[in-house]
Amino acid sequence: MELVWFRRDLRVDDNPALLQAIRSGNPVLALYVATPLQWQQHKMAPRQADLIFRRLGELQNDLKDLGVPLLYEEVDDYQQAVEQIQRICQTHSITSVHVNNEYELNEVIRDERLREALADANMVLHQYHARCLTIPGSALNKQGHYFKVFTPFKKALLAQWQPSAIEKIEPCQANSALDIVTQEWGNAQHSFRYPRENSQAWPVATRDIRQQLRDFCSDTVQIYQQERDFPARSSTSKLSAYLAIGALSPKQCVARLYANGEHLSEGGSTWLSELIWRDFYQHLIYFEPKLCKHKDFVEWAPRIQWLYSPEYLLSWQEGRTGYPIVDAAMRQLNQTGWMHNRLRMVVASFLTKDLHLDWRLGEAYFMSKLIDGDFAANNGGWQWCASTGCDGQPYFRIFNPISQGERFDAQGEFVRQWIPELKEVPNKFIHAPWKYSEFDNVDYPPPIVDHKAEREITLALYKEAKDL
Ligand SMILES: Cc1cc2nc3c(=O)[nH]c(=O)nc-3n(C[C@H](O)[C@H](O)[C@H](O)COP(=O)(O)OP(=O)(O)OC[C@H]3O[C@@H](n4cnc5c(N)ncnc54)[C@H](O)[C@@H]3O)c2cc1C
């Protein structure tokens, strides 16, 4: 009997672990193990937990169509997950376990332990790559090292890689005589023991996710290049939540992108680049486990003198900084679990370069709120903005929250959507409402810091850290 352990790959399509288990010709069992204590340590957002919970119901249905039962277990952490899997292997006379790799340090260690434990009992762990477009380590520079700059990485990746059709998965014939009854998903036995927050705005049925991808690739992608930076417009795919939990794979995205022919539009090429950024950061954590230990990427960054200010942090978290574009973005995050990419950059820059707070505080808060929380992308994004990262933003490039608002939300549509208190403020002052003559009558705080002054402080702090 083969066992497929599902983790952040909650799909049946483009899932090599499942495909190969079925192709073995042996009966196949599927398993999901909830690890609430581990999730807490990784600060997984309750909204993402809800998304995973709901998605598991769909996965159970999709697996049922293939004749594969989904077992469910709840333990505390990865250590217990490994022990539990050993027990399951004994109970069901499993000979091989199939998994798709994850590249974060704790996950790598977990799989290493499992491989050793299985080997001791004469079982095999089969590991596959399905999280990225390319296998970490497959795109290297001439010296055989991983790329530290995105553009050559992208070039190397595109040079050695061809978009390919997704292999169709067939039902598991060997399971026809299998006599294992599993509980319908959502049954009281599936308690999940983790706080959950409503994620209904994200449909989880496979056909709905596929349709969203199809609609984006046949329609919106055409305007992606011109429109993607404007948060009031719906011009990005909003597929990140599915990519993060593996309800969708990047290869499925690219296969759909190329479905209309080999020549990509400008929008299509830009979208492909974003998916390659995703690979870039996944490859990076594979090569640099220190990133999973909360370390800066660049060697001089630990010398940056961050400020300690719980009050500033709270104002930022709650969207009360007095800078409308920052506050609107944080309220979007708090209320929906998602934030537009441009605004992720703006609020991250504000936290680190206007409030001088350690990027790790922002990274952790994002993780605790994001429905698409993904360690590699989040860490990469935060370190890029804080200028401590691999191919990060130069430290002297500091976003101005007023001009970012004026440029990307000129009519204040986005700001007014999330901060109704500013509805009456004229466009001219919408990104600097304290300059409005009637500001005293508006229920909105004045700026907690002066951007110009803080910018100078940041330049000095970073220069000092770099020159030391
Ligand atoms: C500070 C910061 C934190 C971030 N945290 C996360 C996170 O936890 N999870 C996450 O998925 N993305 C993160 N991103 C990247 C990006 O903001 C989101 O992927 C994007 O906003 C998701 O919206 P979308 O699906 O509409 O993206 P689209 O524009 O449609 O892009 C398609 C896909 O490409 C990937 N992608 C796009 N931009 C990036 C990027 N810069 N880095 C890595 N992958 C990218 C995502 O999987 C995304 O779904 C972060 C960015 C920053 C600046």
On whether the CB atoms of residues 392 and 384 are closer than 8 A, the answer is: yes
Q: Whose CA is nearest to atom 16 of ligand 1?
A: 341
Active site residue 359: yes
Active-site residue (options: 83, 274, 406, 413): 274
Residues of the chain with pLDDT under 50: none
The amino acid that residue 165 corresponds to is: A
Q: Is the CB of residue 251 below 6 angstroms from any atom belonging to ligand 1?
A: no
Q: Which of 82, 76, 92, 91 is nearest to 118 (CA)?
A: 82
Best CA proximity match to 201, nearest among 33, 64, 336, 343:
336
Find how far residue 238's CA is from the centre of its chain: 11
The catalytic position among 197, 306, 421, 434 is 306
Domain 2-131 fold is Rossmann fold (3.40.50)
Q: Which of 359, 363, 400, 418 is catalytic?
A: 359
Q: Is 300 a catalytic residue?
A: no
Q: Which helix (H) or strand (E) holds 74?
A: strand 70-74
**What is the C-alpha separation between 268 and 252, in angstroms, rounded?**
14
**Maximum distance among all alpha carbons in the chain?**
78
Give the whole-angstrom CA distance, residue 310 versus residue 307.
Answer: 10
pLDDT value for 24: 97
What CATH class is the domain 301-467?
A: mainly alpha
User: Considering only CA atoms, which residue is closest to atom 23 of ligand 1?
Assistant: 238
**Catalytic residue of the set 39, 185, 202, 277:** 277
CATH 3.40.50.620 domain residues, the chain: 2-131
Task: Please state the separation of Cα 125 from the chain's center in Å.
Answer: 26
The annotation status of 274 as a binding-site residue, yes or no, is yes
The pLDDT value given to residue 187: 80
Is any ligand 1 atom within 6 A of the Cβ of residue 250?
no
Provide the pLDDT for residue 237: 98
Would you tell me which CATH number, out of the four given (3.90.850.10, 1.10.3720.10, 1.25.40.80, 3.40.50.10150), belongs to the domain 206-287? 1.25.40.80
Told to judge if 274 belongs to the known catalytic residues of this protein, a careful annotator would answer yes
Separation in Å, CA 231 to CA 114, 328, 422: 44, 10, 17
| 39 classed as catalytic | no
User: With helix as H, strand as E and coil as C, how does 120-171 read?
Assistant: HCCCEEEEECCCCCCCCCCCECCCCCECCCHHHHHHHHHHCCCCCCCCCCCC
- Whether 278 is in the pocket of ligand 1, judged by its Cβ within 6 Å, is yes
**C-alpha–C-alpha distance, residues 132 and 118, integer Å:** 26
Helix (H, G, I), strand (E, B) or coil at 107: helix
237 is in an annotated binding site: yes
Q: What is the pLDDT of residue 165?
A: 84
All CATH 1.10.579.10 domain ranges in the chain, comma separated: 301-467
Task: Kindly report, residue by residue over 160-212, the tens digit of the pLDDT.
Answer: 888 788 999 999 999 988 888 788 888 878 889 999 999 999 999 999 999 99
29 within ligand 1 shell (Cβ under 6 A): no
Cα separation, 407 vs 419, in Å, equals: 18
Whether 431 lines ligand 1, by a CB cut-off of 6 Å, is no
User: Is ligand 1 within 6 A of the CB of residue 344?
Assistant: yes
Q: What is the pLDDT of residue 178?
A: 85
Asked if 185 is an active-site residue, the reply is no
Determine contact, residues 9/100, Cβ cutoff 8 Å.
yes
